[in-house]
Structure formats: structure tokens, C-alpha cells
Amino acid sequence: MPAVCYAPGSVEVRGALESLSISALLGAERYGEALRTLRAVGDTRLTGIFLTNLGVLSQERGEHSRAEQHFLQALALLEQAGDTRYQAITLGNIGALRQLAGDAAAARDRYLQALPLCAEAGDLRTEALCRVRLGGALAGLGDLAGGAEQLD
């Protein structure tokens, strides 16, 4: 993650953010440090991104309820910040979480919400991922033709 300078002389903030790069975040404690720092400087967008990452970490730990809470908090902040790319990523993560829980309809709805945001942001990777997952959700709902269409 590149250094972020919020104001002239904000060496402490820039240094704190550099030390909390994604590659260095090894667990929830480090994410907590990053979130406190980001909230202290009032960076809504990066706070949303870190909450999305914390949601992924929680999901990987099997803490699905906590993951969804993080994703929903992140989504609200990312909408506020106007970051359509990370809104799409977060919606895709919520969809995947719903799909894991066996709620293909809710997963489908989240993927469908994400797709226009992917297009707006020009994020082909997230669009492709959402389409593949949407295909699985549609197939799970019995719409095999719709599912196959997402893979074309």
C-alpha cells in the first residue's frame, strides 16, 4: 500500500500507514491498529478498504457473522467515499459469504449489485469473479441457462 500523506508534516501518519501495509498485516490485531490509525485521520475510504480486508480475514477464520458485519460496515463507508471499485469488491465478498451459507438468492442479488459498479470502475477482474460466482448462484437456483450465460 502506498504511503498516504494527509497534510504537510504528517510524517507520523504516513509512517504508521506504511508500517501497516497489507503484506505486514498478519492478523486481526494489526488490522485493529490500522483501523484506529485510519479512523484517527478520518480516512473513510481506506477505513472501508481495511474493513473489507478484515472481513476477508474473518471469513477465512470461519467467523462468517463477524465477516458479514465487517463487509456491511465497509460497504457503508465505501459508498460514502464514492469508491465504486471497492464497493463492487465488498459486494462480491458478501455474495460469496451468502453463497457459502446456502442463500443463493441473496448471493445472486449481491453479485447483480456489484456488476454495474465493476463496469463503472473499469474493474474487469472483479467483474469476471462476480460473473463466475453469479453463474454458480443462478445454477444453484435452478437457472442453468442463466448460469451458463454468465460464463460466456
What is the reported pTM?
Answer: 0.78
Per-residue pLDDT of the chain (152 residues; tens, 9 = 90+): 333 333 433 444 444 444 444 444 455 667 777 788 888 888 899 999 989 988 988 888 888 999 999 999 999 999 999 999 999 999 999 999 999 999 999 999 999 999 999 999 999 999 999 999 999 999 999 999 998 998 88
Question: 90, 93, 85: which is closest to 117 by C-alpha?
Answer: 85
Question: 44, 129, 38: which is closest to 82 by C-alpha?
Answer: 44
The span from the CA of 62 to the CA of 127, in Å, is 25
The 10s digit of each residue's pLDDT in 32-48 is: 777 888 888 888 999 99
Residues 6+ apart with CB under 8 A from 91: 75, 110, 111, 113, 114, 117, 130
The span from the CA of 40 to the CA of 53, in Å, is 19
8 Å CB contact between 67 and 53 = no
Enter the C-alpha cell of residue 112: 447483480
The span from the CA of 46 to the CA of 86, in Å, is 10
- Report residue 65: phi and psi, to 5°: -65, -45
